[in-house]
Amino acid sequence: MGDTNKKKITLSELYPVIRERLDKGGTVELPITGTSMLPLLVWGRDSVDITKTETPKNGDIIFYRRDNGQFVLHRIIGENENGFILCGDNQWQKEYGIKPNNIIAVVTAINRNGKKFDTDNKIYRLYSFTWVKILPIRKYLLILMRKVKKLFGAKK
């Protein structure tokens, strides 16, 4: 029997509360939804801690809002005169023109299976650096990873 007192609310409805907490210097934990940040972040397994920042840098995962209102977590892979260049870890199409005013916060920790991994951890920074650098071949690597997973996927 389901809990009739539960109400699903959207991120847009929660945004004012998130913004207030971040503006006061706090941290907010967000569950992962979607697949754009695989293999690092898995929907239903992981969450991230976000904190407001004035100076996001290359390799950071940022929480931002597109001009169409959509909230997204993607990695900064560069910057040009039009703004930041972003890409999800499970993608190879770059997103251009993300302005500082679109950026809400930066991911400061990843929460997985009861453990917290700070994004200033050396192993994480190496992963981040490597994942950004392989962008030219990422499409082929991701296709290969999917085929291997399908071939050797979990047995029931």
* pTM score of the predicted model: 0.88
Instruction: Note the pLDDT of residue 118.
Output: 97
Structural contact between residues 112 and 46, judged by C-beta atoms closer than 8 angstroms:
yes
Per-residue pLDDT of the chain (156 residues), as tens digits, is 556 787 888 899 999 999 999 999 999 999 999 999 999 999 999 999 999 998 999 999 999 999 999 999 999 999 999 999 999 999 999 999 999 999 999 999 999 999 999 999 999 999 999 999 999 999 998 889 889 989 987 554
Task: For residue 124, count other CB atoms closer than 10 A to its CB.
Answer: 16
SS (H, E, C) 3-65: CCCCCCCCHHHHHHHHHHHHHCCCEEEEECCCCCCCCCCCCCCEEEEEECCCCCCCCCEEEEE
